[in-house]
C-alpha cells in the first residue's frame, strides 16, 4: 500500500510542477486546434471531467487510460454542430476484457465552404478546410489499482491547397484509491510533430492535465459523481480548472453539468443521457462567447 501511495503522490507532484511552470504567451500559435475540442457528449457536458464515469469508446480521445472499466465491446458515434458552419463527426470502437482494452477511432472536422479570392478581391472559387485524426488506443491494468494507457494518432490538416501531416501520442495514468468510486488520473496529450503547412512547421497543442473523481451511491436508484480537473495548454497563459458532476437515476437517466475557468472558447456546459437496454443516447450543450454548441451521440454495447 505504501508503495502505491508513493507512486500516486509522485505523479501528483510531477503534474503540479508541469502545471505551474511558466507559460509563454503564444496563444493561437499552435495548429491542429481541433485536438482540444471535446468528442464525447457525456464528457463535454461535464466540462471534460469525469472520464472514470464513462464507458463510451469516445473517451479514448479525452484520456487514454481513464474510463469505466466495463467488459464487452462498444461502438459509439457523435456529431457536433460547432461554430458557424463547422461540424465535427466522431466514431470509435473499443473492446474491454478483464485486464486490457483496445480501441480505435476517427475524428473528422468539416469547416464548411470558404470563398477563394485573388489579391484584387475577385471571387475565383471555393475551398473546404478540414481536419482528420485517426487513433489507436491500448490500455491495461498494471495492478488492480493502477491503469496505464496510450494513444497513437495520425493527424491531417488541410487549408485550401496547403496541407500538413502529423504524428502524436497521448499517455495516461489512473490510480484507483482504496476509497470507493474515488480515483486520481493524469495525462499528457499531443506529444509529437507535424510536417510544414506551406513554409512553416505546425506546433501541436500540447496538453497536460490532472483529475480527481469520486462518487456517492447511497442506494441502487440514485448516485452522484463529482469530478475536478486542472489542465495546462501550451498556447494558453493560464491554467484551466474545470469542475463537473453527473447524477444517475435508476441507471436510466443521467443529468450532467460542468464549468470551465480561464477557457476562452467555453464556460458553462450541461446535458443528459438516456440508457435503454444496450443503447445509450447523449446530448450536451456548451455555452460559447460566439454561439451555442450542441453535441449528440449514440452508443451501442454488444
CA-to-CA separations, 53 to 1, 106, 162, 267, 271, in angstroms, rounded? 24, 22, 40, 21, 15
Task: Please report the DSSP string for 145-180 in residue order.
Answer: TEEEEEEEEEEEEEETTEEEEEEEEEEEEEEE-SST
pLDDT tens-digit readout, 146-197: 999 999 999 999 887 788 899 999 999 999 999 989 999 999 999 998 887 7
Distance from C-alpha of 135 to C-alpha of 142, rounded to nearest angstrom: 22
Please give the residue range of the domain that contains residue 33. Answer: 2-301
Instruction: Give the H/E segment covering residue 212.
Output: strand 207-213
Q: Is residue 151 within 8 Å of 64, Cβ to Cβ?
A: yes
CATH number at residue 284: 2.40.160.60
Residue with cell 489542465: 231
Exposure of 150 by Cβ count < 10 A (0-12 exposed, 13-18 middle, 19+ buried)? middle
Q: What's the total number of domains in the chain?
A: 1
pLDDT tens-digit readout, 5-40: 334 433 433 343 444 444 444 544 567 889 999 999
pLDDT tens-digit readout, 225-241: 999 999 999 888 889 99
Residue with cell 481536419: 131
Amino acid at each position: 500500500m505504501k508503495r502505491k501511495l508513493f507512486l500516486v503522490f509522485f505523479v501528483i507532484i510531477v503534474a503540479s510542477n508541469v502545471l505551474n511552470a511558466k507559460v509563454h504567451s503564444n496563444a493561437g500559435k499552435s495548429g491542429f486546434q481541433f485536438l482540444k475540442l471535446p468528442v464525447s457528449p457525456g464528457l463535454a457536458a461535464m466540462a471534460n471531467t469525469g472520464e472514470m464515469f464513462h464507458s463510451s469508446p469516445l473517451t479514448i480521445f479525452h484520456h487514454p487510460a481513464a474510463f469505466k472499466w466495463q467488459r464487452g465491446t462498444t461502438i459509439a458515434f457523435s456529431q457536433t454542430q460547432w461554430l458557424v458552419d463547422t461540424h465535427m463527426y466522431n466514431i470509435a470502437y473499443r473492446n474491454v476484457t478483464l485486464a486490457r482494452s483496445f480501441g480505435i477511432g476517427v475524428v473528422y472536422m468539416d469547416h464548411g465552404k470558404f470563398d477563394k479570392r485573388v489579391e484584387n478581391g475577385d471571387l475565383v472559387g471555393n475551398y473546404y478546410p478540414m481536419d482528420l485524426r485517426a487513433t489507436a488506443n491500448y490500455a491495461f491494468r498494471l495492478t488492480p489499482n493502477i491503469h496505464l494507457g496510450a494513444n497513437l494518432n495520425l493527424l491531417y490538416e488541410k487549408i485550401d491547397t496547403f496541407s500538413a501531416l502529423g504524428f502524436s501520442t497521448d499517455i495516461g495514468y489512473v490510480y484507483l484509491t482504496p476509497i470507493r468510486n474515488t480515483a486520481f488520473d493524469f495525462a499528457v496529450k499531443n506529444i509529437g510533430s507535424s510536417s510544414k503547412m506551406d513554409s512553416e512547421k505546425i506546433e501541436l497543442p500540447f496538453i497536460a492535465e490532472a483529475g480527481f473523481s469520486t462518487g456517492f451511491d447511497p442506494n441502487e436508484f440514485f448516485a452522484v459523481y463529482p469530478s475536478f480537473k486542472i489542465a495546462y495548454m501550451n498556447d494558453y497563459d493560464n491554467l484551466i480548472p474545470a469542475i463537473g458532476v453527473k447524477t444517475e437515476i435508476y441507471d436510466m437517466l443521467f443529468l450532467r453539468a460542468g464549468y470551465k475557468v480561464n477557457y476562452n472558447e467555453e464556460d458553462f456546459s450541461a446535458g443528459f443521457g438516456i440508457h435503454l437496454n444496450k443503447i445509450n443516447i447523449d446530448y450536451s450543450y456548451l455555452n460559447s462567447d460566439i454561439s451555442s454548441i450542441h453535441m449528440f451521440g449514440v452508443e451501442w454495447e454488444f
